[in-house]
Structures are given as structure tokens and as C-alpha cells.
Structure 1
């Protein structure tokens, strides 16, 4: 709390504010009937401003220094009072002391998670927090816009409003940055600068200035973190070497852990299986062709996978159906040349007769009997 020096008599001749706190932004100088002696001393310390208010209007503003209060030092107040020949003691005015120093280490954070639509992970929620520093740059505007008639105004009375501004600007900056979510941690400084530039005008409208802003952390759901870590590892892993390494470790464990005949058999089987895996992994690193050592002939490729099709029946999607099933459906009239079909690899639904693979199935269906 601030301490005010007063005289013990009815009138005050020294006006000052000594602040022993770290959270008072504005303090009104309290005195008996708002009366101040002519030629009273005003002491404004470094990091302060003193604002005189007369009948609800801001009059004179004093920067750091020591002043003797009279008509020469109070020109605006003198004009408001209408004094032509000086003023008699005492005179009435309200005096507000404003701390213009930096209020450091102010915390901010998102109360609720912010929903984003990421290109790689879809809809996800993030949270963020950090610190900022602010100070008062226009004492008169701050009193008019924020303080009003409050006798003592602290940081606790405005931080929630400031947090709301910061979170709103953080959301804007994230959207404008168009940055993949996995890049946030590596670009905290860039995001901090973007948010800082966004909210300058918001603070200035209150007579304030953000002198420092830090985005310390952006957090996301654990499952998204795991996916990001896994994807980053996949980009670095040599799968052939990894398979060989794991196969060798498995053989070593099987050899060091025999458990009777059955265990030996299991170990031997595991060893053979791991040996095959090692061989396959080794062969994968060789040229693509694989030869049979006994016959020195190339192993045939795997059988082709039969395409399956979805069809539109009664304006509803049905399937998938094999070619044999589709041939049967042509016999019953369920599938015609105009029926819409779709299969993997097609860009959209098409008439069956336009699909190359289906054109032959209509020729396999016998025409109607004569006379029918």
C-alpha cells in the first residue's frame, strides 16, 4: 500500500505519494475536504506523474520534480476556477498519482483451449501462456478510459481485460501465420513479435504501452504430440538397418534364455524366424530382382488384386462388388450401362458403360429372346 505524508493540522502543505508496493497503478491523494493550501509543495518522484482534477475535468499534469502550487504552476486549474487575481487559501482539487514505471512479469494465458484446423492433423485444440510488461504513457487518457473515480487502482483490476486482448490477438496471429502446428515450438520468438505488433493499438487506446511480450509455450493434446514425434522419427529412420538390428537383438535374447527342450525349440524357431527376417532385410537393400538359388529363376510377382466397384441402387450407395457379382447383376437388370459406378482411383461416379473394365460384362449378357 502507498503511504501519504500529511500535516497534522486541518490543511495540507506537502503533497506526495510514496509507493511501497509493486501493483498500484493509480492512487488518489486523500486529504481533508479536498483542500490544498496556496503555495503548497508538490513532490513527484521518478516513475510518477501527478494529475490535478477539478470538478471532474482533468486540469494540470506534473512530471517528476518539486513544485510550489500557485496560479503560475496551475494555469489550467486557474482558468477552470476563473481566478483573476490569484486564489485564496485553501483551494479544492483532486490529485491522482500515476505510476509510469514498467509493471513487469505480468502473466497471461488461454482460459479455454483454442480450436485450430491443421492441414496435417485436422481439428485440434491448443493452449498458450507467457508474460508481458506494460506501462502508462498517457496518464490523462488512462484515468478517463479506465480509472474513473477509483481512489486506488491496481494491476489486479485490469489484468483480466489485458489478458482478453492478448488472447484475442494471439488467435489472430496464429491464423495469419498459417504455420504447421509442429513448428510452433521452434518459432515462439516470431509468434511473439507478431502478437506484439497486433496489440499495440489496443493498449494505446487506454493510454498504455506494452514494452515487452513473451510467448513462452504452446501446448497441444498428448496424442498430437506423440504423432508429431513419430512422424519426425520416420523421416530419420533407416528401416533396413532397424530391422537388422532388432533381428540380431532377438537372436541374442533367445540364445541367452534357454528353458529346457521346449524352450530350446522355441528359441531355435525364433532364431530361424529372425534369421529369415535378417535375410529379407538384407535382400531389400540389394537390387530389386530376387533369384531362386536352385533353379536360378525369377520368382513370379504377387497375383493382381481384383478391383471392386460401388454402384448406385435406388439412389443409394451399394457394394463393393466383384466383377463376377456385377455380371450376375446385369442378368437380373440391377446393373445397366447407365448405372453409376465408382472404384478406387476414379475421380468420381461414372456410367458403367464408360468404364473400360466394365464394358465387356455387358457383351457377356445374352440378348432378350425373340418375340419378347
Structure 2
């Protein structure tokens, strides 16, 4: 081999074309390999590292896709591009093609949230508003589809550019999913894991349609207005209490509050009543010690008639008979929305179950102040 041939071989080895991408950022999803006029030499080396995919695009058309590895770019390693360019017997001159490197590692801790409150219908509380937020993780699973459908000709595509689209998709699908779940509002906080997995399964097909895989989806918190939260807490406590004992407790607290209001009329009345009680007790204690002359003849004790038996009511709850309960207990059940005006009730003397609103003494629950029609009207 002559001197000239050795120099030519040495220069050709030193100027081997290398096509690679060293990613130094955490947010870049896709990078377009820059080369003057997109010319790549015959026999160039393509280096695709772990966590990358290289996509060749020829005149806007997807050509070849390469996974991790080192390749020599010739007609054997570029079958689709060879067909597009009509290289039947190989090529010796530089060829033009755009090369995109796609980052296929997992993008984690991406935030999502509902921009506006979601309005839901709850059987117990009516229309309610909730907000939700959490995190998700995704990665590119079909680099070619992702380049064609999302990236286009962007030379440096970051996760910020696609996150806005993904967060809008998540918020829409989350709203649909919780609306169809029809869960009682107080159970959302206790079922975040099940809701998270259900939402991920619902959203996955739409992510896949643009070449993205939704790997993780987390619902971290569901918030609601403070007044609704307070009402839920109070209802949960009432649901566990004996209503008759609760009524007695509230009555005792009301009497205690009235007695402590010494400057008011209620306090004065309470103090006077307690004074009469004390006076009677002292009189009873002193009467045995007083002489016969001081004793007044007492009237014969008259026994009052027995109290009438309280009416017992039965009511329908979830298709089952419940009760019996008293009038006050039934009033409390109506107040806390366990029953309503359409609930079927029965008492002794009725032939059949009828709606609460049709029982005369129970109409007081409905808050109607309209008097009955005049006789003969």
C-alpha cells in the first residue's frame, strides 16, 4: 500500500460520521439530531443508548426506528429508507434524513389537578362540589407514533409541552369516571386507591393512541367545601347515636345554658323555678318537726289517670321494615334526611302502608303553614 493510500485510510477513519445524542436534561422527551442539510454519510455509526429510541424521518414520512445498540448505516440496516429512496444496489454518497432521538425512560411525579370544582349529585346531600389533585407517571412506548402525532418538526420537545395536553385529558376523564362511579360523597377519601386504578384503566387507551403509556396514576386528595365537610361529620356522628338520648342531652344543655344566663328573663324564670323547688323541699323537711297545731289538714291525694300509650310508627328503609319509633324519633329521622316525605310509614289503625306526607299528624314535619279548608267550603 502506498503512502497516499495510507493517508487516505487514516483520514477516512478519523472522520467517521457519528450519529448520537447525549441527554443532559431531565425534561427533554425528543431531540432532533442537527446536521447541515440533514446529510448523513454512507457507513455512519448510529449509537442509541439505553432509554433511547432513534427515529428516521424521510421527507415527512416515518422511515426506520432503532432501539438501543450501535448500527452502521447502510442499505442492510436501513431497509425502509432504502425502499423509499430506491437504493436497489446500495449507495455511496451522503443521504438526507431527519433523525429524532426519543427519551423512553419513565417521567415521574407529574402533577395534575382539577382547575374548576366538579359538580356531582349525591343521594343524601344533593348537588355537591369537589376538587381533586394528584400525580402521574408516563413514558413513550411508540416513538414513531409519538413523533408523527405530537412532536412534528419540533427540534427539542420537552415534557412541559405535552403535560398541558395530558393534564386536560386527565381532568376530563376523571370527571367522567367519578360521575359514573356514583359513590356516596363521604367515601371518596376512603377509596382513593380503587379510584386511582380505575381512572388509570379508563385513561390508558387515550394515552396509547398518541404513543404514550400511562404507567402510574395517583389520586392524592379529594377536597370539598368546609360547610359540606362539617355536615358529613355531624351526620356520621348522629347516625351512631341513640336519638332519644340525644334529645335528652340537648334539653339538659339548653336548661344549663338558660340557668347560666342570670341577667336574662329565661335565667330569672329558671332561678325562680329552682327557688320554688328548694322551698318545697325545705317545707317537707321541716313539717315533721312542727307541732300538730301548725299542721294543716291535707287534702286526700288524687291519682291522675294513666298516660295514654305513645303511638308507635314503623317506616320503610332500603326496602326493609324499620321501627317501631316514637313521634319524636321519627321527627329526628326526618330532620337528618334518613327518611323523607315519600317514605312509607304505618301505625296501628292503618290498613296499609302510606306515604309520610299523607299522615295527618306527620304533616308538621313538612313545615307547611297553610290551614285546612273551612268546613262546607
Asked whether 1:269 is paired with 2:271, we answer yes
Unaligned runs of 5+ in 1: 1-10, 276-292, 310-317, 336-372
Q: Deviations over 1:112-153 (max 9, x none)?
A: 111112111111211111111111111111111111111111
Displacement after TM superposition at 1:15 (Å): 1.2
Report matched runs for 1:99-178 at 5 Å.
99-178=103-182
With 80-89 and 66-75 compared, the bigger mean Cα shift is at 80-89
Unaligned runs of 5+ in 2: 1-14, 278-300, 311-326, 328-358
Q: Deviations over 1:8-49 (max 9, x none)?
A: xxx871111111211111110011221112211111111110
* Partner SS, residue 44 of structure 2: strand
With 153-162 and 76-85 compared, the bigger mean Cα shift is at 76-85
Which position in structure 2 is the counterpart of 1:314? none
Which position in structure 1 is the counterpart of 2:69? 65
Asked whether 1:326 is paired with 2:330, we answer no
CA separation in 1, counterparts of 2:171 and 2:116? 10
Q: 1:85 to 1:192 in 2, by over 3 A?
A: same
* Partner SS, residue 22 of structure 1: coil
- TM-score under structure 2 normalisation? 0.66
Displacement after TM superposition at 1:245 (Å): 10
Asked whether 1:295 is paired with 2:303, we answer yes
1:194 to 188, 194, 198: 198
CA separation in 1, counterparts of 2:362 and 2:58? 87
Asked whether 1:234 is paired with 2:282, we answer no
Which position in structure 1 is the counterpart of 2:322? none
CA separation in 1, counterparts of 2:302 and 2:237? 40
CA separation in 2, counterparts of 1:306 and 1:170? 47
- TM-score under structure 1 normalisation? 0.67
Moved over 6 A (4+): 248-251, 265-268, 304-309
Aligned length, in residue pairs: 285
CA separation in 2, counterparts of 1:196 and 1:184? 16
RMSD (Å), alpha carbons: 3.7
CA separation in 2, counterparts of 1:219 and 1:248? 33
CA separation in 1, counterparts of 2:144 and 2:202? 24
- Residues 52 and 96 of structure 1 are in contact (CA less than 8 Å); yes or no, is this contact kept in structure 2? yes
Asked whether 1:25 is paired with 2:29, we answer yes
Q: 1:159 to 1:270 in 2, by over 3 A?
A: farther
